[in-house]
Amino acid sequence: MNGGAGIPIGPDGNPRPLLPPLSQAHAGRKCLVLDLDETLVHSSFKLIPQADYVVPVEIEHQFHNVYVIKRPGVDAFLQRMGELYEVVIFTASLSKYADPVLDRLDIHRVVTHRLFRESCYNHRGNYVKDLSQLGRPIEETIILDNSPASYIFHPNNAVPVSSWFNDPHDTELTDLCPFLTDLLQVDDVRGILDGGL
Residue 175 bears catalytic tag: no
Q: Which one is catalytic: 12, 35, 99, 182?
A: 35
Q: Which one is catalytic: 12, 37, 106, 175?
A: 37
Phi, psi of 134 (to 5 degrees): -70, -30
Report strand pairing: 86-90 vs 62-70. unpaired
Q: CA gyration radius for the chain?
A: 17
Residue 170 bears catalytic tag: no
**What region does 104 belong to: left with phi over 0, alpha with psi -120 to 50, or beta?**
alpha
Q: Which residues contact 188 (CB under 8 A, 6 or more apart)?
A: 139, 140
Report strand pairing: 31-34 vs 86-90. parallel
Residues with a catalytic annotation lie at: 35, 37
